[in-house]
Structure 1
């Protein structure tokens, strides 16, 4: 059985390509693509744009250090790494919390409870901006700081139920 392939577009006529090449050379410079434009062939996705990166400064000391048990009541500030896992009291429907990943892209977390599994990803915090926060079952998870393999994570219970704007 042979595969069916869609027809390939016909190549552009040589005079049109030559005209386009001459016009490009005579123009001297081209306009820069917008920041959200996809990379051109042969250009990396990060070429020409500065991508945010986690700070190389040392992480601030977490109030509860590495004591993950302090998070059982959803009120803690701890240093976490990929694979960290702790039990929670279930008061907000979450009985087990897992740090899925900590890397230059941010912090990925997952909460498990009876009949529920919640997950979220937080990008690294930016200087001069509010740190990113993810809300799961009225528990706010915030990335205070991140160094690529460790993060200072704050967990707190919201005073008012979270209602998304919309």
Structure 2
């Protein structure tokens, strides 16, 4: 006489579906004020909240091309990269990491790979900096996954 396993598998599957269903994301409910807000107001409301003090505005915004000559102030995120004019032996600059630990960057050129890390600003001037092949990198502000970085000759 053969015995078959208990048929509790469908019951377990149904229980798993019910449990997982409770983990589903809650739909976003729009604020009625947003419906009448201008597009720029809506953009400001939909921005992720800042985890620290609001960083100062960058002189060059997010225009990474402004950094080609190693003289800029930009907002960067992990994975950003830009071409440099090679004056300092660096043809490509990469933002390797932006997180609570600070800013990690690398510079690449013909036969050159340089890298460095700056800890988060401590709120006092002067900010932490390091020199990469003749130009200075300063971490001015850190905000979650974004950083305000300044390059200077």
Q: TM-score, normalised by structure 2?
A: 0.66
**Is 1:82 matched with 2:86?**
no
Could you list the runs of 5+ residues in structure 1 that have no partner in the other structure? 1-54, 158-166
Describe the superposition over 1:116-137 as per-residue Cα deviations: whole angstroms up to 9, x where unpaired: 1000000001022421101111
User: Which contiguous aligned blocks of 4+ residues in structure 1 show a shift greater than 4 angstroms?
Assistant: none
**Per-residue Cα deviation, 1:71-128 (whole angstroms, up to 9, x for no partner):** 0000000000000000000011000000000000000000001101000000001022
Asked if 1:110 corresponds to 2:112, the answer is no
Instruction: Give the match for residue 96 of structure 1.
Output: 92
- SS, match of residue 54 in structure 2: coil
What is the 5 A alignment of 1:31-46?
A: none
Instruction: State the alpha-carbon separation in 2 of the partners of residues 144 and 95 from structure 1.
Output: 23
- Establish whether residue 143 from structure 1 lines up as the match of residue 139 from structure 2: yes
Give RMSD over aligned pairs.
1.4
Structure-1 separation of matches of 2:61 and 2:84 = 17
Distance 2:61 2:140 in 1: 13
1:148 deviates by 2.3
For 1:139 and 1:128, the matched residues in 2 are separated by: 22
1:72 aligned to 2:68?
yes
**Is 1:121 paired with 2:122?**
no
Structure having the larger proportion of residues in helix: 2
Aligned length: 104
The whole-number CA distance in structure 1 between the counterparts of 2:134 and 2:126 is 19
